[in-house]
């Protein structure tokens, strides 16, 4: 006999309601193997705690909102709001095993910010001038600035990476999910 048949939802509900005197919400309750359940944004992968896929999707949606160009606020303010959100998110979800995902999300977040900066600079002249002021050679700045690639593709080019590097974002106050994850797990 399987575990599912032995411990059906009805018998568990009866036990919880009669013995523990608790109310069971039928819409939220289920009897499934541990690997298939989601609880407070977490799930289990083998013996390890992991983020549920919906959590990562919601996280990306919120970061897209915070880094969007149409918000009409300064980049410094965007980075402050984003940092505040990232700090709260990683402090809650940092207990899960997600080191590599933190690295991937960090890279994705910085690329979103590079794209946002690139969109805000608008004109070729402004792009070239800003890149050169941030240490990019004139030839590379002109090449990047006059590119007709999409904002997302441009955010991955060498010139923009030189100008808007990790050190630049650290100076702006952006936290790293990876660094915070290490602090949570290793002190």
33 lies in some domain: no
DSSP state of 148: -
> 160-181: b or e for each residue (b if 16 or more CB lie within 10 Å)?
bbbbbeeebbeebebbbbbebb
13 lies in some domain: no
129 lies in some domain: yes
9 lies in some domain: no
26 lies in some domain: no
For residue 110, the number of C-alpha atoms closer than 13 Å in the C-beta half-sphere is 25
> What pLDDT, on the 0 to 100 scale, is given for residue 6?
52
Domain that holds residue 96: 53-186
> What pLDDT, on the 0 to 100 scale, is given for residue 7?
61
Single pTM value for the model: 0.81
Per-residue pLDDT of 14-40, as tens digits, reads 888 888 888 888 787 777 777 777 778
Alpha-carbon gap, residue 143 to 153, rounded angstroms: 14
Which helix (H) or strand (E) segment holds residue 144: the answer is helix 138-145
* Domain count for the chain: 1
17 lies in some domain: no
125 lies in some domain: yes
> What pLDDT, on the 0 to 100 scale, is given for residue 125?
94
CA 179 to chain centre: 14
35 lies in some domain: no
Per-residue pLDDT of 109-138, as tens digits, reads 999 999 999 999 989 999 999 999 999 999
């Amino acid at each position: 006999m399987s575990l599912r048949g032995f411990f059906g939802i009805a018998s568990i509900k009866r036990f919880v309601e009669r013995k523990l005197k608790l109310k069971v919400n039928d819409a939220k309750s289920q009897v499934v193997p541990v690997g298939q359940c989601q609880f407070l944004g977490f799930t289990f992968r083998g013996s390890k705690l992991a983020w549920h896929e919906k959590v990562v999707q919601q996280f990306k949606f919120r970061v897209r909102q915070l880094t969007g160009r149409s918000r009409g606020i300064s980049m410094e303010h965007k980075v402050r709001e984003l940092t505040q959100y990232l700090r709260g998110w990683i402090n809650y979800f940092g207990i899960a095993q997600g080191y590599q995902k933190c690295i991937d999300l960090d890279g994705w977040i910085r690329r979103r910010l590079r794209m946002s900066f690139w969109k805000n600079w608008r004109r070729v002249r402004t792009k070239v001038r800003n890149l050169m002021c941030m240490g990019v050679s004139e030839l590379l700045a002109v090449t990047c600035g006059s590119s007709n690639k999409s904002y997302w593709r441009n955010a991955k080019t060498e010139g923009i990476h030189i100008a808007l590097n990790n050190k630049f974002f650290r100076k702006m106050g952006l936290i790293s999910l990876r660094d915070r994850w290490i602090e949570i797990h290793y002190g």
